[in-house]
Amino acid sequence: MAARLAWRDLRGAALGGMGIALACLMIGVAAIAAVGGMRASVQDGIDAQRRAMLGGDLAIESKDPLPDGLRRFLVAGGASVSRQIALRSMLYKADSDRPGDRLLVDLHGVDSAWPLAGDAPLSPAMPLARALSPQSAIAEPMVLTRLHLRAGDRVRIGNRALTLRAALTTVPDAGSITLAPRVTVPIDDLQQAGLLSAGVLATWTLHAAWPGDDAQRQARAMAVEHDLAQRFPGAGWRLRDIRDASPGLSRMVDQTAQFLTLLGLTALLLGGLGVSAGVSAWMMSRRRLIGVLSSLGASSALIARIIGLQIGVLCFGGIAMGVVLGVLCAWIGLSLASGLLGVGPDIAAMLLSAARASWIGILTALVFTIGPILRGLRVPPATLFRDLPGSEGGPRIWPWTVGAAALLFAVIVLTAGDRRLTAGFALTLLPTLAFLLALGRLLRWSAAWLAVRMRHGGVMRLGVAMLARQGAGASRLVLGLGAGLCGLATIWLVEGALIDQFSRAVPEGAPSFYFIDIQPADLSRFQMILRSMPSMRGEADLPSLRTRVMRLNDTSAENAPATPRTQWALKGDHGLTIMGARPDDIRLTAGQWWSADYDGPPLLSLDAGLAAGWHVGVGDHLTLNVLGRDIDFRIANLRQVAWQSLRMNFAFVASPGLLSHAPHTMVATVRTDGDPTHDADILAAVTDALPGATGIRVADVLATLAAMVRRLSIALTAMALVLLVSGLLVLCATLLAERPRRRQDAAILRALGASDTQLRLIWLVEFTGVGALTGLGAVIGGITLATIAMRLLLNAPLPFMPLRLLAVIVGALALMFVVGLLSLRESLRARPAALLRGSS
């Protein structure tokens, strides 16, 4: 009976506010389903290609040449082995003296066994053995485009001339993310190019592959890892199997997807406010039905089932549309990006993500519909027949709402990729919403206080009184629109800060160039070349070695209790320099600097930020692996490192003495007048005279990063628009839910002689107060959240952006005026007779 009555009433009913509620659910569910489906498909694609990305079943990496005994050990164990050497270097267009005919590339030297896993498709197509024959090279298409090269052209690396045979359209063993395009050459040509001097920043790698299925190969790789740890203790190598094939790419995909998913959750939870307002409007439109059924003897349980079925069917329809839209968006997005990401749509992964999104949507609908339904069911039949607004409802509603909210929170956190981040984000929303709700209540209290003291004012006083009246929707309007604008302001401010961070000019005092891999014997020649260039403004150089943290005091680096923001320095290799006298620009925060002629036990100057994150200080010991040897350093002092200055900063600075005569290269910074033509001349002069040196122009790197940020800003803008649309829908739903009350107000004021113009002015006062306070609250909340985000992302302050802040306030007022006046057109047609007859 309940289903029959619910369907009969639903067939002829106008959706009204419930239509907006369905749109809110659809947008939020679609956002979560689309982002989750794309992430799952990309991650599954990465998982399927892990062996190809690794270049085998095991990769052994070192910053120093690997011993021949290691290769023999792997071959004796039944493995196929491939050698590889990788470094950053300059690629030159042969027989060209133009400064622009050179490019910083990621240079890889490979042997004839490469690649052990995956394919290396070439354009034009040819056998790989021919493409990598002696004195040959293959490169990514970007290299050919940037240097205007074609297959068969001559190029040069170091002092070695090569023939560019083909473009490498898909790079195997590309499990890492680099800013430079890749060029692959035979390993013998790389070794003969004069680039592999002592101390050069290069990576030697052995790739190993075994026969058998995936499980057998992985088991064999893990067994070999264990054997290598026993046979070569303290070697300082980095061992990676397919579980760690592409940590950088996987981390980037996870972090991006997690960020976008959190924005999708924000849109859905924000849409929940619209659902609540839409259900309130629906309950208001069903008052006649509830009154008739109650008068005919229907029980409260039967009426609750009828209303619950109606709202359930409508909400399920909105969630289903969101799932379909999300899967469709994920499919289209992956199809368009398949060439870039190397993966296509995975329907199983997308359906699983859609199922998670639908469950979250169902629980969101449950949280935000319980209160309006219970309040609507408690309105007395006499009130219903008179078409008067009902009461706000009893005290037993909140336990149901809190219980459903707790269940929603548990589902969101337990099904998230990063539970800690998701839980922190969800808990952060609570004080934000509480702040906006408090602003709404403050508006009502302030309006009530002001209305009592305004003895005159006419229209103005009535408008203020409208804000303060019992049951007024000012609090809900501030909460709904303010939450959407707060999310928009946060994203907009973060986007502007990122663009400002990477698009502005090079910081004052920052170098124009970094030159790396300069041999100590070539330093005087390097300096002489710079002195001959009129655009040169300054030069600084330091010795450079590579190091890896092995232990903090007696704790291994893997088990060190480091904070998340400092764990990066406990992984991989990092720069180490040697200093005698303390430079003037170094600011110590603890300890004392050593003497210029110090020659005692090794001392270390450590970045104060890393020390705080690692819970170490002056007097503690760090064990660093330098040139394959573990060296124990005592921390002599801590210093503040200004990483954003782009100057020559090192996290680790060693005292002179033990390392002073170790093989190393020099790294130099050069300041110029900034003219691109003059910079190109300096780069050409240095790299032509010193082919092994690599020059990196800071402005070019910042331009590349700025381009990446601009592409990211497109996604941020899209998500900001989703939040804005959600807030706009909440605003519309809230105004629709208030329409009966406003119609009643208009009829009463008309009976008292109010004109249309006076009615519009009364509501204009009300909307001005709500819009102004909403915009102000959104600005305050946006600044707070954006400041936190900038500190977490870049450890940088949030720049002052007055135009963007002003735009948020003006936008709040404009939205409030436009949507408010459009939604009140019907209320202006209300007549006292209609109110007295009790008709709608």
Read off the pLDDT of residues 603-632 as tens digits, 9 standing for 90 and up: 999 998 889 889 999 999 999 988 778 889
Residue 681 has pLDDT above 80, yes or no: yes
Bridging pattern class, strands 182-186 and 136-139: antiparallel
3-state secondary structure of 666: strand
Residue 261 and residue 753: Cα distance in Å, rounded? 53
Domain coordinates in residue numbering, the chain = 1-51+246-417, 58-209, 425-506+709-840, 536-672
Least confident range of 234-243, 319-328, 389-398, 521-530: 389-398
Residue 120 has pLDDT above 90, yes or no: no
228-235 contacts at long range (C-beta below 8 A, 24 or more positions apart):
228/60, 228/70, 228/73, 231/73, 232/70, 234/550, 234/625, 234/630, 235/62, 235/628
The whole-number average pLDDT for the span 547-564 is 85
Residue 561 has pLDDT above 80, yes or no: yes
- The CA angle 397-402-406, to the nearest 5 degrees, is 155
Give residue 655's pLDDT: 92
| Residue pointed to by tokens 């910042």 | 702
Residue 798 has pLDDT above 70, yes or no: yes
| Residue pointed to by tokens 């009615």 | 759
Residue 408 and residue 400: Cα distance in Å, rounded? 12
Give residue 652's pLDDT: 92
Q: Angle, nearest 10°, between helix axes 247-285 and 17-48?
A: 160
Average pLDDT, the chain: 79
Residue 810 has pLDDT above 70, yes or no: yes
| Chain centroid to CA 758 | 49
Q: What sign does the dihedral 645-780-431-270 (CA atoms) show?
A: negative
Bridging pattern class, strands 603-607 and 652-654: antiparallel
For 348-374, b/e burial (b = at least 16 CB within 10 A) is: ebbeebbebbbbbbbbbbbbbbbbbbb
Residue 168 has pLDDT above 80, yes or no: yes
* 132 pLDDT tier (thresholds 50, 70, 90): very high
Give me the DSSP letters along 437-467: HHHHHHHHHHHHHHHHH-SS-THHHHHHHHH
Give residue 393's pLDDT: 44
Residue 840 has pLDDT above 50, yes or no: no
The whole-number average pLDDT for the span 363-375 is 80
Give residue 138's pLDDT: 93
Residue 795 has pLDDT above 70, yes or no: no
Instruction: Give the pair of three-digit tokens for residue 110.
Output: 């490979």
The whole-number average pLDDT for the span 721-734 is 75
Give residue 281's pLDDT: 73
Residue 498 and residue 708: Cα distance in Å, rounded? 10
Identify the top-confidence range among 214-228, 494-508, 513-527, 722-736.
Answer: 513-527
More confident residue, 256 or 67: 67
Residue 89 has pLDDT above 80, yes or no: yes
Least confident range of 143-157, 595-609, 745-759: 745-759
Residue 60 has pLDDT above 70, yes or no: yes
More confident residue, 144 or 699: 144
Give residue 73's pLDDT: 86
Closest CA to 32 of 411, 436, 477, 427: 411
Residue 78 has pLDDT above 50, yes or no: yes
The whole-number average pLDDT for the span 798-804 is 82
* 394 pLDDT tier (thresholds 50, 70, 90): very low
**% the chain with pLDDT above 70:** 85
Q: What is the pTM of this model?
A: 0.65
Residue 675 has pLDDT above 60, yes or no: yes
Q: What is the pLDDT of residues 377-393, one digit of tens each?
A: 765 655 555 544 444 44
More confident residue, 204 or 447: 204
Count CB atoms within 10 A of the CB of residue 800: 8
How far apart, in Å, do the first and last CA atoms of the chain sit?
Answer: 28
The whole-number average pLDDT for the span 532-548 is 87
More confident residue, 650 or 473: 650
More confident residue, 21 or 397: 21
Instruction: Give the pair of three-digit tokens for residue 164.
Output: 């560019």
HSE of 307, CA atoms in CB hemisphere, 13 A: 31
Q: What is the pLDDT of residues 497-515, one digit of tens each?
A: 777 766 555 566 678 888 8
